[in-house]
Chain A
Amino acid sequence: MENMSISQERADMSLIRTDTVMEVKNLKKYFPITTGLFGQSVSSVKAVDDVSIKIRRGETLGLVGESGCGKTTLGRCLVRLYKPLAGEILFNTTEGSGQEEIIDLAKMSGKEILPYRRHFQMIFQDPYASLNPSRTIFDTISEPIKANHLYSGKELEERVIYLMKVVGLETRYLRRYPHAFSGGQRQRVGIARALATQPRLIVADESVSALDVSIQAQIINLLKDLQAEFGLSYLFVAHDLNVVRYISHRVSVMYVGRLVETSATNELFTHPMHPYTEALLSAVPISEPDEVRHRIILQGEIPNPASPPSGCYFHPRCQYVEDICKRENPAWEEVRPEHYAACHFAKTLALRGVA
């Protein structure tokens, strides 16, 4: 027991292991609710509340949850589109065998982050809204390269052509505008733009949700190929559990701004430890018409994050609820090796996963 606590301390001291690209500790992001002429803050929406995650090199961490649970806000904090209120975002900028350099994105100002921005990029959900309609594909893909002074002139054009080939776009479209492309092709442009600066981490926020099934498969395969080729890490934010199971190595489940469970993908889907995860899994429609399923229909609605319930946020909808759940917020615990959950009864409940 004593040994364990010492090793625990040591792990904390080293902050981040070399195989970890990003480690987020106790991250908080609140949005104030203001009122009146002078915008007095009356209360706040706790969009991200005390979240800790770790993303390893070459790994995809799936982040699932329902709308309004804070998954997009968390993703945006990680690439510092939002400045978090508290917590740490430790980022390992080390490349190859070079000197390890760890920065804390949470504390840095926008200017200080600028030289590091190229290491983390984002792919957005809506390929129609996230491209500038008045700029050609070349302009769009080359912009991050120019902004980071990576290439110029002839080299720049070669680099853009290379990126287009990598994502499977025909290079003769170089000077075309986004309106001439279909949704799948536009998403490829968005991916090429994200890859342009050779990032180490890409936050993909619902990047395949808007696409048709046949096109979705193409983009998922592309994301996997790129990961294998460039050793990319992804934070894959999505609500579609089918896609998340397919693409992720590990999965975190979020509910009203808090994490409720994190584990390796297959473990989480077959042996969920949190009742919310169980309900979420049981609600996914599956394409097997003959199968009789045990479905948990959750009662009520997702609570308003501006006035969440007491204790465990899930207790008003949980079928296993006990008195303690109404009073105390459950601790984030490692229930099984590498399997974390925040539930008072994680150890005793036998929950149903998918086969």
Chain B
Amino acid sequence: MMNQTANTQPPLPILEVTDLKTYFYTNEGVLKAVDGVSFSINKEETLGLIGESGCGKSVTAHSILRIIPSPGKVIGGNIQLNLENNLIDIVGLKASGKEIRKIRGKEISMVFQEPMTSLSPVHSIGNQIREAIYLHRTQNKKEAQEIALDMLARVGIANPKQRINEYPHQLSGGMRQRAMIAMALCCHPKLLIADEPTTALDVTVQAQIIDLIKDLQQEFHMAVLYITHDLGVIAEISNRVAVMYLGRIVELGSVRNIFSNPLHPYTVRLLKSRPSIRKISGQRLESIKGNVPVPLDPQPQCGFVDRCPQAFEGCDNRIPELIELEENHWVRCFLFEKAR
């Protein structure tokens, strides 16, 4: 009996981020790139993180791996990585220490947007993949070569024996992204962070890469944090979606909730402002007025207040809380704080 109740308990999420704050101390002031972000990612789940440029979605990812460049700093919050029998507090680790290096590439891997600039141009593909294998899996040269060849074949690179000795400039954009995915997955991470991995690619190649990530996710039983600004991509790949605006999550829910029942005025308008291949041309797009703001010394107020058509008195007084309005559907807006 005891055992059964223990089994029905939901398993611990692989990653729990609580009230994460990452600030950049610039000459012009404090840039609050990430200002109180909380979310969790369950095992084998895909969480989509969506937002416009400068909303802090990439900084969130970089904070998880502790690769924030100076003058940026994780100044608060908690990032807990739950491995079997081992809970690791990532914020507590030294950014250049041994412990975090054991996590990078092994437990958490990352795929970057621009495969041309994030791969080393002077090392062959095989060289770069083997580096991660030597660090985390084996020192044996022959074994490492076999793992690398196997990974290249798994990500759909034809003729891996030849390709492994080629350099990034010899590969096309789609191939480079496949090679980067092979590099990220060669140590079987529990969590893959994909930061706009298909943004620079053509649609037909994008479709190939999205399919590949989905397949590999099932094969390796890993969780994925998928970062993008493309609403279509996020709808295809995610189980749950977090919408970010000006350093905060403004809405969080299942992909179905976000797309068919969006609550936050920003999410609602973002969905409406997107032209769709399904919409017959002719209607006018509902754009959001104003510009995407920069969180430089921001006022303690709702970040969307200047652009929000539903703003009322009080929206500019304090920061709204992220509240769970329906089950597993969270929103940060005074409209709903009042309603509750």
Contacts and interface: CB of A to CB of B under 8 A. Distances in A.
A208 B280 CA distance: 19
A131 B269 CA distance: 30
Of A185, A212, A216, chain B has the most CB atoms within 10 Å of the CB of: A212
A321 to B, nearest CB: 17
Interface residues of B, number: 49
Contact of A239 (B52, B203, B256): B203
Interface in B216-256: 229-236, 238, 255-256
Contacts of A279: 204
Contact of B230 (A218, A285, A295, A355): A285
A215 B207 contact: no
B284 interface: yes
Contact of A288 (B204, B235, B289, B307): B235
Interface string B268-282: 011101111111110
Given A213-B229, A285-B236, A266 B203 contact: no
B291 A182 contact: yes
A341 to B, nearest CB: 18
Contact of A221 (B260, B284, B292): B284
Given A212-B292, A297-B207, A297-B211, A217 B277 contact: no
B296 interface: no
Interface in B160-175: 172-175
Contacts of B233: 285
Interface in A221-280: 221, 224, 239, 241-243, 245-249, 265-266, 269, 279-280
Contacts of B206: 283, 285
B281 A248 contact: yes
B120 interface: no
A295 B208 CA distance: 10
A216 B273 contact: yes
Contacts of B172: 301
Of B210, B273, B284, chain A has the most CB atoms within 10 Å of the CB of: B273
Contacts of A185: 291
A185 B53 CA distance: 15
Contacts of A215: 52, 287, 291-292
Contact of B274 (A239, A269, A281, A287): A287
A156 B275 CA distance: 37
A289 interface: yes
Contacts of A354: 277-278
Interface string A89-120: 00000000000000000000000000000000
B336 interface: no
Given A212-B229, A213-B229, A297-B207, A286 B278 contact: yes
B2 interface: no
B135 interface: no
B277 A269 contact: yes
A80 B256 CA distance: 48
A66 B203 contact: yes
B337 interface: no
A218 B287 contact: yes
Given A214-B287, A215-B291, A221-B287, A283 B276 contact: no
Given A286-B276, A288-B259, A217 B286 contact: yes
Nearest to A247: B281
Given A66-B202, A241-B203, A247-B281, A285 B276 contact: no
A242 B277 contact: yes
A323 interface: no
Interface residues of A, number: 47
B1 interface: no
B83 interface: no
A53 interface: no
A295 B291 contact: no
Given A214-B287, A287-B235, A289-B236, A280 B276 contact: no
Contacts of A284: 203, 232, 277
A239 B174 CA distance: 16
A239 B255 CA distance: 26
A298 interface: yes
A220 to B, nearest CB: 6
Contacts of B174: 301
B268 to A, nearest CB: 12
A354 B277 CA distance: 7
Contacts of B52: 212-215
A241 B203 CA distance: 9
A265 B204 CA distance: 20
B216 to A, nearest CB: 15
Interface in A189-212: 212
Contacts of A265: 281
Contacts of A302: 202
A216 B269 CA distance: 13
Interface string B87-125: 000000000000000000000000000000000000000
A206 to B, nearest CB: 13
Q: Which 3 pairs show the lowest CB-CB distances between chains A and B?
A: A285-B232, A246-B275, A217-B287
Given A214-B270, A217-B273, A246-B281, 13 more contacts: A212-B53, A217-B275, A217-B288, A221-B284, A242-B232, A281-B277, A283-B206, A284-B203, A285-B207, A286-B235, A286-B277, A287-B231, A295-B207
26 contacts: A212-B52, A213-B52, A214-B270, A214-B273, A214-B292, A214-B307, A217-B287, A218-B287, A218-B289, A239-B202, A239-B203, A242-B275, A245-B277, A247-B275, A249-B281, A265-B281, A266-B280, A269-B277, A281-B277, A283-B206, A285-B233, A286-B277, A288-B235, A288-B278, A289-B256, A354-B277
Interface of B: 52-53, 172-175, 202-208, 210-211, 229-236, 238, 255-256, 259-260, 269-271, 273-281, 284-289, 291-292, 307
